[in-house]
Amino acid sequence: MTRALASLGPANRAARHEETHPLTWRLRDDGQPVWLEEYQQKNGYAAARKALAEMAQADIVQQVKESGLKGRGGAGFPTGVKWGLMPADESLNIRYLLCNADEMEPNTWKDRLLMEQLPHLLVEGMLISARALKAYRGYIFLRGEYVDAARNLNRAIEEAKAAGLLGKNILGSGFDFELFVHTGAGRYICGEETALINSLEGRRATRAPSRPSPPPSASGASRPA
Ligand SMILES: Cc1cc2nc3c(=O)[nH]c(=O)nc-3n(C[C@H](O)[C@H](O)[C@H](O)COP(=O)(O)O)c2cc1C
């Protein structure tokens, strides 16, 4: 999206502050992407630095629980509760963090705007989430038509890697996290979480037949317990 926000209506002409526009206050008025230097000038990665240097994983999960943050994919499931479903025993699995950026619902451009213009916001959010969940690898499952978002996210990932914000021993914390963009082939069902995992793992994008147990957050799409 290259149109200036000022052209989008009175609500977007209002001054944006962290308190009033928590997700969008860092957007530029000219609609150009906010790259790493500017993002950091606007307090970017301060939360990630705090999460890595000052907080235990359990504290991050607790804070997210207390915040009341909910998923925006339709179900509105409490994020902290979902995170609490991850098995405590780390030896049971390798942990991946998946971001559902399929956004196939007609006219839902909420994720696209952020990914195109504030790609570091997603990278930082995933870094904090990965830290909380002890995930060492993350994938952004991105709607294939979102060519600009893919380009900007990949550039943001490269910038973050070069600045020591992704990769090995992030900011000297001992924590490693790698992040990749995976573009989907364009089927609506890929946005459903179990179909998304199947597709990402190279299988046909079919939905798990019934509610899997344990939930996909703990086990993947179709693996037995
Ligand atoms: C047919 C179908 C399509 C879906 N498409 C999307 C989507 O494009 N993006 C999304 O975030 N969630 C989508 N969902 C919801 C996901 O299954 C899941 O609830 C959501 O990713 C969880 O988000 P959370 O981890 O933020 O709570 C879809 C669900 C169904 C049944």
The token duo for 120 is 């570091």
pLDDT value for 2: 45
pLDDT value for 157: 98
- Rounded to whole angstroms, the Cα distance separating 10 from 23 reads 18
For residue 79, the ligand 1 atom closest to its alpha carbon is: 27
Q: List pLDDT tens digits, range 27-36.
A: 999 999 999 9
Which residue intervals of the chain are DSSP H helices? 10-13, 36-41, 46-54, 57-67, 79-84, 110-117, 119-133, 147-162, 193-200, 216-219
- Rounded to whole angstroms, the Cα distance separating 122 from 115 reads 7
| 57 C-alpha to ligand 1 centroid (Å) | 25
As a whole number, mean pLDDT of residues 158-184 equals 97
- Verify whether ligand 1 is closer than 6 Å to residue 8 (CB atom): no
- Verify whether ligand 1 is closer than 6 Å to residue 102 (CB atom): yes
Worst-scoring range by mean pLDDT, 6-10, 156-160, 182-186? 6-10
The proportion of the chain whose per-residue pLDDT surpasses 90, expressed as a percent, equals: 67
As a whole number, mean pLDDT of residues 43-71 equals 95
116 touches 1 (CB < 8 A): yes
pLDDT value for 109: 84
Q: List pLDDT tens digits, range 202-220.
A: 999 888 876 656 677 777 7
Query: Which residue, 191, 93, 169, is CA-closest to 133?
Result: 93
32 touches 39 (CB < 8 A): no
- Verify whether ligand 1 is closer than 6 Å to residue 1 (CB atom): no
pLDDT value for 224: 43
Q: Is pLDDT at 163 greater than 90 in this prediction?
A: yes
CB atoms within 10 A of CB 152: 22
The token duo for 209 is 């037949």
Tell how strand 96-101 and strand 137-142 pair up. parallel
Q: pLDDT category, 179, cuts 50, 70, 90?
A: very high
156 touches 114 (CB < 8 A): no
Worst-scoring range by mean pLDDT, 34-38, 45-49, 100-104, 174-178? 100-104
